[in-house]
Amino acid sequence: MSCSINLKEVSYETSSKEVFKNVSLDVSHEEKVAIVGANGSGKSSLLKIVAGLIKQQDGGVFLFHNEMNSLKDFKEYRSDIGYLPQDVSDHFLCPTVIEDVMFALRAKGFDKDESHKKAIEVMNKLGITHLENRNIYDLSGGEQKIVALAGILITKPKILLLDEPTNALDEDAENRIIDILNSIKKSMIIVSHHKTFIDSLAPTIYRLSNNGLDKINH
């Protein structure tokens, strides 16, 4: 099976500490991988490295077998990568739900009607069409996460990088997110603390520590 993401001996450090070293990971086409680890172990940083937001100090990042030597190399793959940040309020770029979901397509040059049609299709799939004209900042945390996911899925990315997608959500919202993510057939890296959430979603789980990634049997 072809690999979507390869990390080879990746090390990352900030100005004050070494976050992790020698992390290697292969994520195949449509494979779901979860990463757990203690606070400050660098889970979010690892996702940001794969998303091309920050640069590792050592090692190689490969997307679809192409090495990303600099952050500029990620530009070509921007629409193939969907990144859901931990705090989804950072993700939103427009005031209402429909405008935000349409945003990525409009920015790519699609016309208003076509973008609107595709946005409604995605929202319908995720069961949020009733939120169409709502102000994003009036939504609950769970609704915001699903709206952010809709804004990502509209560009049909091949890779999803999800940073704590169920953080601060109640059980119902968490179950909804699990159902949605289980129905999506894409390569995914999910970072979470939630054991039940990860167990019901990802067959492969890794623990990140400053010595690298270790596979956990579950």
Partner 1 sequence: MSKFNSSILLVAAFLYSIFLSFNQVEIIFVLPILYVIYCEHDKIFSILKKLLFLNLFIVMIFIVLLIEDSFEEAINIYIRTNMIILFNLLLFSRSSGYDIVRALNELKFPTKFVSSVYFTLKMIQTLNDEFKRIKQTLRARGFKASSSMFAYETYGNLFGHIFVKSIKKANAMQDSFKLRGFHGKIYLINNSKLSYYDVILIFLICMLFVKKVMV
CB of 214 to partner 1, least distance (A): 28
90 binds partner 1 (CB under 8 A): yes
What residues does 58 pair with on adjacent strands? 11
**23 close to 31: Cβ distance less than 8 angstroms:** no
Query: Which 100-129 residues touch partner 1, going by CB under 8 A?
Result: 102-104, 106-108, 112, 115-116
Q: What angle do CA 192, 52, 80 make, to 5 degrees?
A: 85
AA letter at 188: M
AA letter at 117: K
For partner 1, give the closer residue by CB, 157 or 174. Answer: 157
140 binds partner 1 (CB under 8 A): no
48 binds partner 1 (CB under 8 A): yes
53 binds partner 1 (CB under 8 A): yes
Query: Which 145-184 residues touch partner 1, going by CB under 8 A?
Result: 151
Distance CA 34, CA 88 (A): 19
Closest CA to 8 of 53, 63, 71: 63
Residues in the site for partner 1, rule: CB under 8 A? Answer: 48, 51-53, 78-79, 81, 83, 85, 87, 89-96, 98-99, 102-104, 106-108, 112, 115-116, 135, 137, 151
